[in-house]
Amino acid sequence: MKYFGIAVLAAIMVLAGVAAGTAGEYHSGQSLLCYDCHTMHFSMQHGLDGSAGPVSNTPTTGGNWLGATGPNQFLLKAPANTLCLGCHDGKSFAPDVLAANGGIGTTNRQAGALNNTSGATPYETYKGHTLDSTDTPPGFDPAKIGAPATWYNPASGLECISCHAQHGPATSYRNLGAYALGGAATAARPTYVINGTNDPTKDVWINLTPGWTAGNPPATPDYYDQSKVSFNRNDATVSSVKTSNKLATFCAACHANFHGGPGDTNIGASAAALDGFIRHPSSQVAIGAAAAQLYGGHSSLSRFVANTTKVKVAASDRTAYTDASPICVTCHKAHGNQNPFGLVFLNGNASSQDEQGGLATGQTASLGVNMRNLCGQCHGQGN
């Protein structure tokens, strides 16, 4: 009886937690119901009318079943990626995140496009984040941001919820910061503001008016358009990872060994000199500052400011860009695109950017030239 009481108490606490939790920016305003994704009972052996069938006892492809006759983990009605893509692939009311944009509105998605393990041209698996991939993330060292070493298990395959906290909190940009990060999630969740006026204390500014209320994003595809999204410079050190923006901190949860500025050991240099520099600084370096222009002008603020197709840097000043610092999404699309590694191959002559980097109409893609143009956004040499 005592155990029964404890079990009931535990159940009440779990339910209370669910009720008190605020769904995130994606789902709260759109009124997703628990029932949309979860089934309430373990058994799924009977039909909707109570008959013995016909409901399969066999997991659907990619399913992760709790038992021979049970449902998916977390009582999900289907594997997590399948559920997410049910709304986020080719629907008119939710952002399309897989491959080409079949939704309504912009094609210039800030995060670009995911591919999957069966990804076909032009969205092959090496062109961005690959759903269901079992590869270990390059530079995987979660301890660097204080996350549990086992927070991400590559063998389970990459899921949407590996990065996005599907229930919120609404204060995190795109619901980033998976629950499995544990206590490190708070440090890795980029904050944001949606308004016509920037709030430099937030990591991300989505330039849309009117403003919004928590959990109710503007009902417009522009919300996801790269032209509306800017990143503020908010230097922070989380454990041993230095970043200019929490979005980069979040990337470090998987790709920690790509992070830091000149002098940081985790990009291969000593604190005393840049001689050991083996990786591109990803944060806390100001384009145009003296330290960034060592060795004959590795970067050039004037060059960056002059470019018409600016890459996305973290900067507090959007006119002079005096503290502009590169972050992961400066060169990569978070989801991916049609280029290797999701790189944004900017074309210097293009008047606008797209997910691939702004090839003008009729231009032929040339990886070498366009890669040079991407580097040329900040670097003057040879360009």
Partner 1 sequence: MKHRVGLTILFSLLCLGAGPNEQAPSKQSVSESLAAKPITLQPLQVVYRQVEGTYLKSPRGVWVDQVRNEIYVADTSNDLVAVYDAAGLPVFAFGYNQELKEPTKAIPDSKGHILVLNGIPRVVKVFNYRGEYINDFPLVRKDPKSAPTAIAVDKNGNIYVAIGGDTGGQIQVYDSNFQLLNEFGKKADGTSRLKSVHAIAIDSDRTIFIVDATATPAIQVYSPEGSFLRGWGAHDAGPQNFSLPAGLAIDGDGRVIVVDSLRHTITVFSKEGTFLGRHGGLGSQPGAVAAPTDIATNGNEKIYVVERLGSRLQVLQEQTIAAITRTRIAPLANLEREQIRRGLGDIMKGMK
- Binding residues for partner 1, rule: CB under 8 A, are 30-31, 33, 35-37, 44, 47-49, 53-56, 58, 60, 77-78, 82-83, 86-87, 90-93, 100-102, 104-105, 219-222
Smallest distance, partner 1 to C-beta of residue 69, A? 12
Question: Which of 6, 219 has the CB closer to partner 1?
Answer: 219
Tokens describing residue 378: 């900040």
- Sheet strands (E) in 145-263: 192-194, 204-206, 229-231, 236-238, 241-243
Question: Which of 352, 366 has the CB closer to partner 1?
Answer: 352
Question: Which of 81, 373 has the CB closer to partner 1?
Answer: 81
8 A C-beta contact, residue 181 and residue 188: yes
Question: Which of 95, 190 has the CB closer to partner 1?
Answer: 95
What is the rounded end-to-end Cα distance, in angstroms, of the chain?
Answer: 77
Smallest distance, partner 1 to C-beta of residue 57, A? 8
Question: Which of 54, 368 has the CB closer to partner 1?
Answer: 54
Smallest distance, partner 1 to C-beta of residue 244, A? 33
The torsion defined by the Cα of 281, 286, 289 and 294, in degrees rounded to 10, comes to 10
Smallest distance, partner 1 to C-beta of residue 5, A? 29
Residue type, 253: A
Smallest distance, partner 1 to C-beta of residue 36, A? 4
Question: Which of 87, 292 has the CB closer to partner 1?
Answer: 87
Q: What is the DSSP letter of 141?
A: -
Between CA 62 and CA 72 the distance in angstroms is 10
Smallest distance, partner 1 to C-beta of residue 95, A? 13
Between CA 313 and CA 323 the distance in angstroms is 9
Smallest distance, partner 1 to C-beta of residue 158, A? 19
Question: Which of 104, 143 has the CB closer to partner 1?
Answer: 104
8 A C-beta contact, residue 263 and residue 224: no
Is beta strand 204-206 parallel, antiparallel or unpaired with respect to 192-194?
Answer: parallel
CA distances from 82 to 78, 109, 355, 365 (A): 6, 21, 24, 33
* Largest Cα span, the chain: 78
Smallest distance, partner 1 to C-beta of residue 339, A? 18
By three-state DSSP, how is residue 130 classified?
Answer: strand
Question: Which of 61, 197 has the CB closer to partner 1?
Answer: 61
CA distances from 118 to 124, 356, 359 (A): 8, 20, 26
8 A C-beta contact, residue 162 and residue 263: no
